Amino acid sequence: MDLKLKDKRVIVTGGSKGIGKAILDKFVEEGASIATCARGPEALKNALDGWKQNGVKAYGKTLDVTDSEKYASWFSNSVEFLGGLDIFISNVSTRNTETGEQRWRRAFEVDFMQHMLASEQAIPYLKESAQKGQSPAFVFVSSIASVMANIMPIEHEYGVMKAALNAYSSQLAHRLAGEGIRSNFVTPGPIDFEGGFWDQVKQADPGMFERVGKMSALQRHGTPEEVANAVVFLASPAASYITGANLKIDGGTLKQTQF
């Protein structure tokens, strides 16, 4: 299938490793130009060097997405580098190490507020893209934690903020439909990759890692590439009649009838 992504201008946050890196790799395969950001300078440099060596138009910067001024500056520079914007994938997240009230505030900043601020900044550029017939789109990377009432204590705040992100994405779908802009979100289940949260669990508590994998109907954890395939499809013109949707990528971990 031709996803019609050649020469599309794409921003993906948190693109140095894991799900974000897999999403960018997939866009690169489809011929897109890309921009990203990440906290770790070494991983980001390695990713950018790899893309550029293969002739990809790629831009990236190390930053903390909760620094709104630097985040906004990076976003503007990314759009300028790309010459516009057709697709915005809001992916970045980080593990919360705070406690008490500050833990909730940190979750709000990382797992909701920064997604919203960047998306609002993206809207004028996506409107320009729509006017040129480029089929612009948002895709937000959420989590099945957003719809689970019984989750691990360390994900209580995370799940609430991801639920807010789901609502925001759904609102954008209706708010921007008349402008020709689509908005969808994906809710991955446990995704295992080197250096990621579930990789850390695998090292610290192999039994727990195995139990969580067996919670899915497919009896295993997912991979970043499996999430990326879905995200890139939803962002592409091939999904032109899909907006306001939640695509679960959890191997059947959630046990419920879909209506």
State how far the Cα of 175 lies from the Cα of 156, in Å rounded to an integer: 29
SS3 157: helix
Domain annotation covers residue 258: no
Which H helix or E strand runs over 61?
strand 58-62
Convert the pLDDT of each residue in 78-106 to its tens digit: 999 999 999 999 998 877 888 999 999 99
Domain annotation covers residue 134: yes
Domain annotation covers residue 4: no
List, by residue number, the catalytic residues. Answer: 158
The proportion of the chain whose per-residue pLDDT surpasses 90, expressed as a percent, equals: 83
Q: What is the CATH number of the domain that holds 228?
A: 3.40.50.720
- Which amino acid appears at position 209 of this protein? F
Domain annotation covers residue 39: yes
Domain annotation covers residue 36: yes
Convert the pLDDT of each residue in 13-72 to its tens digit: 999 999 999 999 999 999 999 999 999 999 999 999 999 999 999 999 999 998 999 999
Give me the chain's average pLDDT, please: 94
Domain count, the chain: 1
Alpha carbons within 13 angstroms on the beta-carbon side of residue 169 total: 30
Strand order in the sheet with 58-62: 58-62, 33-38, 9-13, 87-90, 137-141, 182-188, 246-249
What range defines the domain where residue 117 resides?
9-249
Domain annotation covers residue 17: yes
Domain annotation covers residue 155: yes
35-50 as b/e, with b when 16 or more CB fall inside 10 Å?
bbbbeeeebbeebbee
Domain annotation covers residue 254: no
